[in-house]
């Protein structure tokens, strides 16, 4: 469950800011700020940074948009601690919250309750940002097990205080289920062969514990002739395990409609995705809001069926050459943005309520 993290002081030192800033370069930072800023012009306007990480995007907004207050959500306590140090100089303009970002509705309600006089729209946010996927912090921390380049315990939890690890998945899932998550979440063409090898290895040699052992198995299992394209042979399997361990797809399916519902009319949402499954969910949710829900044969479109979102990007925007040179991790980014035109019609809003009940 969510809880606010104690402020680290009003003015952070250069050293405090540098620890996080030096380890994290936010993807498409200026584009995100430019898209969000028009919704944050009124004093006290609230941006919810659903994936705070080490605070790079939030820092950019707080520096360039002096009227904004940011609520930063992250499930990773270490990320919250580092970001809080980085952003301490902004004082009470920043509120860190330990939560999973599909809880955005509850977070906005709780943390705007005492700000009614200061907020342009009490109980709602003026802007929402989601920068999906694994963070620089998680990739760079060897003992978290996210990176296949270093040997580490097979953990991969974004919140290391709760839930099953990657080792638990490898040691308890059956061959068919392993093949499914590798195929669906990793888009791995050799999913059945890898799943079979994983199960055989644990039966013969005991439980999975270390990432280097998994990398060795993947190298031995995936045909050498296919490794010339598609990057490291472990890339897709590690991605699939990370998504499964953290329930990323299920969380995102709940979070995007919940984020739209948390937006005030005129508010803006920006989402950065890094693989096709994420981008597909965002694309479908935005398309639902930007398309009339009226039957096509009606002569007049009823007000309740008019689109409640307006697209701010033409399709998904990619990183340009300058961004790629500055930040290689931006290579797979897909950015989409939308603006809230009106409240969601009642006949569509129940979907969000149902997903919230499903989470509980």
Give binding residues as ranges: 55-57, 74, 101, 131, 138
- Within 13 Å and on the Cβ side, how many CA atoms surround 272? 28
How close are the terminal C-alpha atoms of the chain, in Å? 11
Binding-site members for S-adenosyl-L-methionine are 55-57, 74, 101, 131, 138
Max intra-chain CA distance, the chain: 69
d(CA 131, CA 242): 16
- 3-state SS class at 301: coil
Q: Position of tokens 């009823």?
A: 302
Helix, strand, coil percentages, rounded to 5, for the chain: 50, 15, 35
Cβ–Cβ under 8 Å, residues 123 and 111: no
Q: Which residues contact 53 (CB under 8 A, 6 or more apart)?
A: 24, 74, 76, 79, 83, 131, 135, 136, 137
**Rounded to an integer, what is the distance from CA 269 to the centroid of its chain?**
13
- 3-state SS class at 45: strand
Cβ–Cβ under 8 Å, residues 318 and 334: yes
């Amino acid at each position: 469950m969510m809880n606010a993290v104690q402020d680290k002081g009003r003015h952070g030192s250069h050293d405090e800011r540098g620890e996080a800033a030096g380890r994290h370069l936010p993807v498409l930072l200026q584009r995100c700020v430019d898209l969000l800023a028009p919704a944050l012009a009124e004093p006290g306007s609230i941006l919810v940074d659903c994936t705070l990480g080490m605070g790079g995007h939030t820092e950019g907004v707080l520096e360039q948009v002096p009227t904004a207050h940011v609520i930063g959500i992250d499930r990773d306590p270490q990320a919250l601690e580092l970001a809080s140090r980085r952003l301490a100089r902004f004082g009470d303009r920043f509120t860190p919250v330990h939560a999973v970002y599909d809880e955005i509705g509850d977070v906005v309600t709780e943390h705007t309750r005492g700000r009614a006089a200061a907020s342009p729209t009490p109980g709602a946010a003026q802007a929402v940002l989601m920068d999906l996927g694994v963070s620089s912090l998680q990739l760079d921390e060897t003992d978290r097990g996210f990176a296949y380049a270093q040997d580490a315990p097979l953990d991969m939890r974004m919140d290391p205080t709760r839930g099953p690890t990657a080792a638990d998945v490898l040691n308890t899932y059956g061959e068919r289920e392993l093949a499914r998550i590798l195929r669906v979440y990793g888009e791995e063409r050799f999913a059945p062969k890898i799943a079979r090898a994983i199960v055989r290895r644990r039966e013969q040699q005991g439980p999975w514990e270390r990432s280097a052992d998994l990398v060795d198995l993947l190298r031995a299992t995936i045909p050498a002739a296919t490794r010339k394209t598609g990057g490291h042979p472990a890339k897709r399997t590690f991605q699939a395990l990370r998504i499964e361990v953290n329930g990323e797809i299920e969380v995102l399916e709940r979070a995007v409609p919940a984020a739209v519902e948390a937006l005030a009319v005129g508010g803006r949402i920006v989402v950065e995705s890094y693989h096709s499954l994420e981008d597909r969910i965002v694309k479908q949710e935005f398309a639902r809001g930007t398309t009339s829900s009226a039957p096509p044969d009606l002569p007049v479109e009823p007000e309740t069926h008019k689109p409640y979102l307006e697209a701010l990007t033409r399709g998904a925007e990619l990183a340009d050459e300058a961004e790629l040179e500055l930040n290689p991790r931006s290579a797979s980014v897909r950015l989409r943005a939308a603006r809230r035109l009106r409240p969601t019609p009642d006949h569509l809003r129940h979907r969000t309520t149902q997903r919230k009940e499903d989470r509980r």
